[in-house]
Structure 1
Amino acid sequence: MEGKVHLVLRLSEVITDSGVVCHKLATRILECQGLPIVNGQCDPYATVTLAGPCRSEAKKTKVKKKTNNPQFDEVFYFEVTRPCSYNRKSHFDFEDEDVDKLEIRVDLWNASNLKFGDEFLGELRIPLKVLRQSSPHEAWYFLQPRDNGSKSLKPEDLGSLRLNVVYTEDHVFSSDYYSPLRDLLLRSADVEPVSASAAHILGEVCREKQEAAVPLVRLFLHYGRVVPFISAIASAEVRRTQDPNTIFRGNSLTSKCIDETMKLAGMHYLHVTLKPTIEEICQSHKSCEIDPVRLKDGESLESNTENLRQYVDRVFSVITTSGLSCPTVMCDIFFSLREAAAKRFQDDLDVRYTAVSSFIFLRFFAPAILSPNLFQLTPHHTDPQTSRTLTLVSKTIQTLGSLSKSKSASFKESYMAAFYEFFNEQKYADAVKNFLDLISSSGRRDPRSVQRPILLKEGFMIKRAQGRKRFGMKNFKKRWFRLTNHEFTYQKSKGDPPLYSIPIENILAVEPLEEESFKMKNMFQVIQPERALYIQANNCVEAKAWIDILTKVSQCNQKRLAVYHPSAYLNGHWLCCRASSDTAAGCSPCTSGLPANIQLDIDGDRETERIYSLFSLYMSKLEKMQEACGSRSVYDGPEREEYSTFVIDDPQETYKTLKQVITGVGALELEHAQHRRDKFKRTKYGSQEHPIGDKSFQSYIRQQSETPAHSM
């Protein structure tokens, strides 16, 4: 049950005017917290009952409207014993009734206008024997389910439910406590070899690579170190790979870290790209079954095939044209993957593509199409027919993205191989390669490492002469503009040699230009280190499209401007701020910058604490890894089987890092031990933090009493 109740019980001895004594119980209901919300509302009230074998007396609080944290503060009085003659010996002596069988029961209800009556929220029962002392009893209680007495069902009548529940609790200290371990982790990308780094060691000792990848990626993303780290471990993995066809196909630390990065940084990109098409597929309910065995009566194989082909074409198109929306951090990682793969397998010209497609298609887009609800693309599980359609689309997209040389061999089913023949054209392979080129380059590090430029946009626009000659005429001319991932150029006509070229890395900002500058609409400016190029697009839609795409390809340039001049420099001054120097700093903040990544809410200290907990949990493996380093340093013979699972390229460097890790973990463990002792001293059963009825409390007490201060 949800919710807890704060109450005070006081047993008082009352002497009446006639000199007789009776005992009265005052029950004060102070407040409740966290009561369940029923059908979107909660109008709670409480009933208080003094119950025993031969009596039952109930009273009720007022209803508190529209709150699940009601403040009642009401007192109810019950006569516990019959009046009797007063004497000192009988003080709090309940001989005339078996008080041990009396109890106070508090029931919480939700007041309802429905014909079915009020809804039960929970109850608590307090035996009066807890009041054998003169002081009041004040405590918080957890609400419990209703006691059905003898009507409870037998276990075998209830059925069974198998669950896998993982609960993790970390106590996070202030940031300075984590500095040694955090700094050691953040240096991982710079350690040579990377297998000797603290982050890589965590992946070696964890039972599942996913355990290590989740906090590592979040920590490195928070501190801007995820790309260097993944680049380092990816390069190391590629060097150990013997067959280019198996590159990044295992569940290694590299694969899990990239998966986690795509999940965190790429979810918005995934939604923007796929959600409209997935929603259309779910809503249209077109039959796409192409397995002759599964065809229903009245369905046409030709019609179903055409429906499926249209869906695949649509999904393929939205994916392969989404390159400019791919988050920067993902593009940087893909760049490092293709570079490492191309360097390792120089004779395989396709490996630079398969290294990237193994993630963006096989681990990102295809799973999202197959199970859209797991990626929040749909609110619920899809119906069986839609699920089957998405399965077929996912299979085809996965094969298209893999660029495998033998497409028919990619399918176990003959009907899928036959269907794939619709897409066995060079234009599909070219579209995939262009997409992979774009998301693994576009000016992010060294775009010229890509062998061929990728055309992003082209068309006629009007540009104002830049006045490269100080006293030359500055008129407007129509030119053919062309943007690739290498440069932005213009020429007289399409196909002519370029008259002027701006390298992508020289674009400092791309911003609209105010109409008052030249009395012309739809103008924007491409700002370079020496001057700005003023351009007029054909219409406002084209102007925005050019601004967006130019901003996207240049967004990672290191010298991008934070401020700019929204108007032109004419007649010896800037029209916007009247500054006379043509090199004066901008007067307005840049407006068209696209976010490089969606900002993530990550607590670096919490992630470091999680990593500490993992190191602490696997301390025995850390110690075994130390032994393995020592063994390899002094012995060249056959390795012990228990050491063979560790990747240790440099035993001495790895041992050094292990020692630092164990020291850092030990220091944090001392702080945790002190915190546990202090918390144990402050803990009070029945407090707001630990209400009576909290079944985990006794387990907590037992754990704390059994845990030595020095334990790992």
Structure 2
Amino acid sequence: MLTSANVKPVSASAAHILGEVCREKQEAAIPLVRLFLHYGNILPFLSAVAHAEVNRTQDPNTIFRGNSLTSKCIDETMKLAGNHYLQVTLRCMIDEICTDHKPCEIDPVKLKESENLETNRENLRQYVDRIFNMITTSGVRCPTVMCDIFFSLRESAATRFEVDQDVSYTAVSSFIFLRFFAPAILSPNLFQLRPHHPDPATSRTLTLISKTIQTLGSLAKSKSASFKETYMAAFYDYFNEQKYGDAVKNFLDLISSSGRWNQKSIETPIMLKEGFMIKRAQGRNRFGMKNFKKRWFRLTNHEFTYHKTKGEGALCRIPIENILAVERLEEESFKMKNMFQVIQPERALYIQANNCVEARDWIDILTKVSQCNRKRLSTYHPSAYLNGHWLCCKMSADTEPGCTPCTGGLPANIQLDVDGDREAERIYCLFSTNMNKLVNMQEACGSRSVYDGPEQEEYSCFLIDDPRETYKTLRVIISSVQTLEQQHTKYKRDMFRKTKIGSQDHPIGDKSFQCYIHQQSESSTYSI
């Protein structure tokens, strides 16, 4: 199962076959995703099935729009790995909407007598604007596993449809907007954003917001026409500005490229963040407030620079690959708050942000863009090197390895607690339950291997790209399931024979044990 990504074609793999025989793709996706996440193999598998699906897609406008095994597996991955991401991005805004109960109905037919249409539109517009801004500025918090998946989707789509310039964006937006953020806004209780389903009025507000956010993220060429309702098309005119499309593309660039800045496919620098902060002058023997200068900092996907003022040439350039760690700096170092350090091979750059929120944002985004660097440090010095020694560990050599473990990345990269054995058992149960379909699929492979004509109608529901390879995999699956069933049956019989009725473990009158005896008796009678 875990080697499914290496099977050529991937449709002949055990994981893909499980998706073919299950009644609902979701049944297969849940244990598969959990198992692959547990063993760290989710990216190769999803890349393989996504690449195969993209190659089967004829129209770039329908890419990843169906309920395939690929889409269901990516949905489940986002739901598991992206839960914290949703919490920090949307929860405060969802709570505000559910608490304030501002009227946002923009359908004239449903408008109450006490409500004003223009006021409601303005309330809704403000909500959409704020949520849209929260989403498009949240790329730094997107979990690494999701970024890697989006990068793979983007590469596959761009390779398959070279003529369509937007397909590399729509391949990603079809998941992050249509299948992640929009559903979470629509039903926050299903994504642990709210404890209960919202009241009807709030639910209506969330529905209108979700529709608008979904359309904003779709990058459709004729967005107003995508609304069936006239009032929604009119409301969307508020957002028919280039800045919204640019914000979506910048966001998609960040989440589908993060950690892979050296790829040749990303040649244009992407502006990630900029603003004034205070830095400590480098190479000085004396340290004090005079050594701190206010500078304009600018971060792109290629480098981190600072300038004397905005618009002037860079005084210093730090390539992203040279950033070894980004950590907070203890206040005692310079008696200054909101400080952090960007550690390079030669020295550390000490920076003071304007406030704690800005410091956190800079640390997060600098960590995000550099977290895949090969030479990242595992330890650092939480205090500065002053007067010939490190203030934290008192070591005198400025090249001394760090004395404190690095924080290890963003809180969004949470390791999931998955029971691999339990998920493997679920997969076994699904195969066992669908044994008849496995046999039918095996017969379909044999039919296609012998005849070049059309498949029989009862076999047409199976996707079989390579009958020979698929047949080999099916034979192994069926044999493995049958072997496990025989071992389970043997184990139950052995336990039944060794059981002493009336013992402390199985006293007389134990209803569960009586049921167990009944089951064993039926099994023994059947086998005889």
Q: TM-score, normalised by structure 2?
A: 0.89
The answer for the alignment partner of 1:556 in structure 2 is: 372
Tell me the secondary structure at the aligned position of residue 386 of structure 1.
helix
| CA distance, structure 2, for counterparts of residue 526 and residue 396 of structure 1 | 39
| CA distance, structure 1, for counterparts of residue 58 and residue 83 of structure 2 | 33
Match of 2:299 among 475, 483, 487: 483
Tell me the secondary structure at the aligned position of residue 449 of structure 1.
coil
- Does the aligned pair in 2 maintain the 1:625–1:643 contact within 8 Å? yes
| CA distance, structure 2, for counterparts of residue 292 and residue 685 of structure 1 | 75
Match of 2:164 among 336, 340, 348: 348
Structure 2 CA distance for partners of 1:449 and 1:344, relative to 1, 3 Å? same
Tell me how far 1:689 sits from its aligned partner: 8.4
Percent identical across equivalent pairs?
77
Counterpart amino acid of 1:483?
Answer: L
Match of 2:132 among 311, 316, 319: 316
Structure 2 CA distance for partners of 1:585 and 1:643, relative to 1, 3 Å? same
Structure 2 CA distance for partners of 1:658 and 1:446, relative to 1, 3 Å? farther
Structure 2 CA distance for partners of 1:292 and 1:691, relative to 1, 3 Å? farther
Matched, 1:663 2:485: no
For structure 1, which segment, 608-617 or 573-582, has the greater mean C-alpha deviation from structure 2 after superposition? 573-582
Counterpart amino acid of 1:273?
Answer: T
Deviations 1:188-239 (A, max 9, x none): 1222221122111111121111111000000011111111111111111001
- Does the aligned pair in 2 maintain the 1:536–1:543 contact within 8 Å? yes
Matched, 1:395 2:184: no
Deviations 1:434-489 (A, max 9, x none): 11111111224645533533322212344445559xxxxx9665543211233212
- Does the aligned pair in 1 maintain the 2:140–2:364 contact within 8 Å? no
Tell me how far 1:523 sits from its aligned partner: 3.9
Matched, 1:524 2:340: yes
The answer for the alignment partner of 1:265 in structure 2 is: 81
- Does the aligned pair in 2 maintain the 1:487–1:501 contact within 8 Å? yes
Tell me the secondary structure at the aligned position of residue 228 of structure 2.
coil
The answer for the alignment partner of 2:318 in structure 1 is: 502
| CA distance, structure 1, for counterparts of residue 371 and residue 454 of structure 2 | 53
Counterpart amino acid of 1:197?
Answer: S
The answer for the alignment partner of 1:221 in structure 2 is: 37
1:97-496 to structure 2, matched below 5 A, reads: 185-444=1-260, 446=262, 449-464=265-280, 466=282, 478-496=294-312
Structure 2 unaligned blocks of 5 or more: 285-289
Structure 2 CA distance for partners of 1:307 and 1:520, relative to 1, 3 Å? closer
The answer for the alignment partner of 2:287 in structure 1 is: none
- Does the aligned pair in 2 maintain the 1:509–1:561 contact within 8 Å? yes
Tell me the secondary structure at the aligned position of residue 109 of structure 2.
helix
| CA distance, structure 1, for counterparts of residue 475 and residue 526 of structure 2 | 18
| CA distance, structure 2, for counterparts of residue 193 and residue 690 of structure 1 | 55
Counterpart amino acid of 1:266?
Answer: G
Tell me the secondary structure at the aligned position of residue 252 of structure 2.
helix
Deviations 1:264-296 (A, max 9, x none): 111121122222111211222222222121122
- Does the aligned pair in 1 maintain the 2:261–2:301 contact within 8 Å? no
Tell me the secondary structure at the aligned position of residue 495 of structure 1.
coil
| CA distance, structure 1, for counterparts of residue 121 and residue 500 of structure 2 | 67
- Does the aligned pair in 2 maintain the 1:286–1:307 contact within 8 Å? yes
Tell me how far 1:406 sits from its aligned partner: 1.3
Tell me the secondary structure at the aligned position of residue 556 of structure 1.
coil
Q: Which has the higher strand share?
A: 1
Structure 2 CA distance for partners of 1:536 and 1:316, relative to 1, 3 Å? closer
- Does the aligned pair in 2 maintain the 1:669–1:710 contact within 8 Å? no
Structure 2 CA distance for partners of 1:462 and 1:689, relative to 1, 3 Å? farther
Counterpart amino acid of 1:633?
Answer: S
CA RMSD in angstroms comes to: 3.1
| CA distance, structure 2, for counterparts of residue 331 and residue 397 of structure 1 | 20
- Does the aligned pair in 1 maintain the 2:261–2:302 contact within 8 Å? no
For structure 1, which segment, 209-218 or 356-365, has the greater mean C-alpha deviation from structure 2 after superposition? 356-365
Structure 2 CA distance for partners of 1:688 and 1:398, relative to 1, 3 Å? farther
The answer for the alignment partner of 1:585 in structure 2 is: 401
Structure 2 CA distance for partners of 1:226 and 1:446, relative to 1, 3 Å? farther
Counterpart amino acid of 1:269?
Answer: Y
Larger Rg: 1
The answer for the alignment partner of 1:547 in structure 2 is: 363
| CA distance, structure 2, for counterparts of residue 425 and residue 465 of structure 1 | 42
| CA distance, structure 1, for counterparts of residue 119 and residue 500 of structure 2 | 70
| CA distance, structure 2, for counterparts of residue 498 and residue 633 of structure 1 | 65
Counterpart amino acid of 1:329?
Answer: V
For structure 1, which segment, 228-237 or 294-303, has the greater mean C-alpha deviation from structure 2 after superposition? 294-303
The answer for the alignment partner of 1:611 in structure 2 is: 427
Tell me the secondary structure at the aligned position of residue 292 of structure 1.
coil
Tell me the secondary structure at the aligned position of residue 377 of structure 2.
coil
- Does the aligned pair in 2 maintain the 1:510–1:527 contact within 8 Å? yes
Tell me how far 1:669 sits from its aligned partner: 2.0
Tell me the secondary structure at the aligned position of residue 483 of structure 1.
strand
Structure 2 CA distance for partners of 1:699 and 1:344, relative to 1, 3 Å? farther
- Does the aligned pair in 1 maintain the 2:84–2:412 contact within 8 Å? no
Deviations 1:472-529 (A, max 9, x none): xx96655432112332122333223334333323322112334565676654321234
- Does the aligned pair in 2 maintain the 1:547–1:592 contact within 8 Å? no
Tell me the secondary structure at the aligned position of residue 293 of structure 1.
coil
What is the count of residue pairs matched by the alignment? 521
| CA distance, structure 2, for counterparts of residue 580 and residue 334 of structure 1 | 46
- Does the aligned pair in 1 maintain the 2:325–2:343 contact within 8 Å? yes
Counterpart amino acid of 1:267?
Answer: N
Tell me the secondary structure at the aligned position of residue 622 of structure 1.
helix
| CA distance, structure 2, for counterparts of residue 436 and residue 232 of structure 1 | 21
| CA distance, structure 2, for counterparts of residue 422 and residue 344 of structure 1 | 35
The answer for the alignment partner of 1:75 in structure 2 is: none
Counterpart amino acid of 1:390?
Answer: L
Structure 1 unaligned blocks of 5 or more: 1-184, 469-473
Counterpart amino acid of 2:24?
Answer: E
Counterpart amino acid of 1:285?
Answer: H
- Does the aligned pair in 2 maintain the 1:443–1:485 contact within 8 Å? no
Structure 2 CA distance for partners of 1:201 and 1:221, relative to 1, 3 Å? same
- Does the aligned pair in 1 maintain the 2:297–2:305 contact within 8 Å? yes
For structure 1, which segment, 528-537 or 214-223, has the greater mean C-alpha deviation from structure 2 after superposition? 528-537
Tell me the secondary structure at the aligned position of residue 481 of structure 1.
strand
- Does the aligned pair in 2 maintain the 1:460–1:481 contact within 8 Å? yes
| CA distance, structure 1, for counterparts of residue 134 and residue 488 of structure 2 | 51
- Does the aligned pair in 1 maintain the 2:36–2:42 contact within 8 Å? yes
- Does the aligned pair in 2 maintain the 1:464–1:476 contact within 8 Å? yes
Deviations 1:370-421 (A, max 9, x none): 1222222222222221121111111111111111111122111111111111
Tell me the secondary structure at the aligned position of residue 404 of structure 1.
coil
